[in-house]
Structure 1
């Protein structure tokens, strides 16, 4: 299907359709697992300049939720690291398929984007535009250990599935701010823009045990993990990790922090010190807890997964990592293209979630949400890898940091939006017969 001259979409059929009578015999199940991935030795921290940790401020984790509606299994992973190479995602999910029989399309691996966690796996895209930062090799021992803990965690989650209930909702927090400061000459620089685009919605998923007690919370909020700043030398989950731990302590159940389109969104306080971290427990953590209490859950849940690939031009002056050769191609006209993998997850008839391996500007996901036919449309960012910043078209004209390091062109804005919206209004809606009459409680 061709949407315009610069987009090609390759649809992957991943859903089994089943009659309602047969499906009614199935039972929704879920589980949650938390694995500590804090290293025992000094590590290169990813985010800002190259620097090695000297201490540990707080522990970092894999948090894993498994869901199963009797036909489709789905695994959502939130890891307290900055970014993940698509190559590393492919390598790990290949192991999951071989060892546990799990289809990679059903594994979403997101990162919280803390800038105070160890480097993990090969740098790939970041090394293209920051070669001088990566004069050292990445730590294969830590990477292998962390990968194994993820495999172990998914295995445990698969084994521990039990009858459950699920519900969705919205929360709201003013803990973030646009970070594209506007200068008098119309150009941008890193800072704060209180008048710039933001996304302050919290996309909420609550999973309960069969008896109605809380099993896990999933909170989707867009914000950089940069409270501690570049002078910090301590390993930390930053604001995402601190808020997750706070919510877990207050609620008695694990919480997965899933970042959103945070490419141009900073925490309200950036680069300060550890003293302000706990203020986010009030600004964001309490808002998550309040929203979670209002969600009504149901055992009547169906799941569907889907995928497409969006082709969009790659910058002529930007190289490409060898590890990621499968994510690019050259047209007959000699144009280098990025093959951008997009995933979709549908819960009943009213929840549509999409992800991308991007540091996306929030106005793009905001527009997709506004145009979506689904009342709950969430964007899960930093997912299944990282291919860098994807800016809104008009922000390219304002310059600043992000355009200098992006592999994309201004065309990527409309290419991505039209592809995702077309899928939401087409293929996603066509899955409705399987979930006829089934609505998420809201």
Structure 2
């Protein structure tokens, strides 16, 4: 059996200096140490003369301008076309600020070097290309996460971390589902040793939330995979659609991100051990689509929404100030980008924000590929991409903030156009 497929991986430490402010909450925190390093990780796959680069950044998010600059540098260094270099942020809540709207909290010296480091990781991964065999596999974990919005009898949705501020109205259950599937692609060398593992799971990487830099639970998964399969086994994580999904691990003696990572690894390792390489070669293709999406009504009266959200007064002030900032900018829409790609019969679609799990499930159902892994925070960062029901019911993700402003109509357009790109790629693969 000929398998003219190659894969290469690389990672570069992008951890800023201690003292850099941490993003991931309404208010900045000053980093006090490093619990585990932050990395850019790159996976380059080659089949039938075509190359594709998948890049994961241990950051809460990255805006399009910085991402476009990075892709241009990486493409220049590797000759991989820009549309075939796809990237996402892992959304760790213990990483540095990158959002220009909060520039006063950014470590400017660190950010100035970021694009070059990311491009170097892609070039290193390309240089590390060697023959590989691909397996697609999956596992499940149901007990780690919950839909973090609770529905109430008066129609509102309240976030689970705000339930201590009792609204006095009866709850009528969870406001939405979870997605328990752990999607994986494994790349083995010709001797059957694991070279690289891609995985995706729909769970917010906010389990650590401490005062030190941390890549959260994906870092623990990576350590477990390397310990079990050898140090040559690199792990790259892309976040699933988890905008409304939080963990449900109680505080204890061990860090919660470590608990989650170990439990995920416990579910993943048996599936990896049973992997069966697929016959190659595989068609590889990718597309990026420019799209313009409308903002929400920036002049909406937020007071009723804030009151029903159950946020404390100080936090409500944050949202009021954010609304004023957005109004002063005078923008009514955003130009952003969608990423669609496939490796054989496995499709991927990334949306540029924190995507509600309902959209991820819809993408899986509607995709023409037999297997599809939806990805959030790809190619840009436009905040929460909610459903129409969620916007009308309120809650944190439906409030205007410094990072969230896209109207539901824009989200619906993203999903529709993104699925259109997957269908186009699928037709091209069928004709090949």
Q: How far did 1:88 drift? A: 0.8
Q: Give the drift of 1:257.
A: 1.4
Match of 2:294 among 285, 310, 313: 313
CA distance in 1, matches of 2:247, 2:177: 14
Q: 1:58-69 to 2 correspondence within 5 Å?
A: 58-69=36-47
Partners of 1:364 and 1:413 within 8 A in 2: no
TM-score between the two structures when normalised by the length of structure 2: 0.82
RMSD: 2.7
- 1:304 and 2:299 are equivalent in the alignment: no
Q: State the secondary structure of the residue aligned to 2:207.
A: coil
Gaps of 5+ in 2: 162-172, 300-321
CA gap of 1:289–1:181, structure 2 versus 1, over 3 A, is same
Retained in 2: the 8 A contact 1:28–1:302? no
* Partner residue of 1:37 out of 7, 11, 14: 14
The structure that is helix-richer by fraction is 2
Give the structure 1 partner of residue 414 of structure 2: 416
Q: What SS does structure 2 have at the residue aligned with 1:57?
A: coil
In the alignment, does 2:92 pair up with 1:114?
Answer: yes
Question: How far is the alpha carbon of 1:378 from its aligned partner?
Answer: 0.8
Structure 1 residue aligned with 2:431: 433
User: Is it true that 1:86 corresponds to 2:54 in the alignment?
Assistant: no
Unaligned runs of 5+ in 1: 1-23, 128-133, 323-328, 331-335, 435-442
Count of residues in correspondence between the two structures? 387
Instruction: Write out per-residue CA displacement over residues 213-246 of structure 1, whole angstroms, 9 at most, x where no aligned residue.
Output: 11101011011111123xx211111222222222
Q: Deviation at 1:260?
A: 0.9
CA distance in 2, matches of 1:52, 1:271: 22
1:274–1:78 Cα change, 3 Å? farther
Is contact 1:26-1:70 (8 Å) kept?
no
336-345 or 65-74: bigger deviation: 336-345
- Deviation, structure 1 residue 391: 0.4
User: 2:335 maps to which residue?
Assistant: 339
Decide whether aligned partners of structure 1 residues 29 and 205 sit closer, same or farther in structure 2, where only a CA change above 3 A counts. Answer: same
Q: Distance in 2 between matches of 1:271 and 1:390?
A: 29
The 5-angstrom pairing of residues 153-302 of structure 1 reads 153-174=121-142, 175-191=144-160, 194=174, 196-229=176-209, 232-252=210-230, 253-269=233-249, 274-298=254-278, 299-302=280-283
- 1:270 is displaced (CA, Å) by 7.3
User: How many Å apart are 1:26 and its aligned residue?
Assistant: 8.6
Shift of 1:261: 0.6
CA distance in 2, matches of 1:60, 1:374: 33
Q: Judging changes above 3 Å, is the alpha-carbon distance between structure 1 residues 270 and 419 closer, same or farther for their aligned structure 2 residues?
A: farther
In 1: Cα distance, 2:419 partner to 2:251 partner: 36
Aligned equivalent of 2:379: 384
CA 1:426–1:96: 2 relative to 1, 3 Å: closer
In structure 2, what is the equivalent of residue 354 of structure 1? 349
Which residue of the partner structure matches residue 302 of structure 2?
none
| Length-normalised TM-score, structure 1 | 0.80
CA contact (8 A) 2:8 2:125 kept: yes
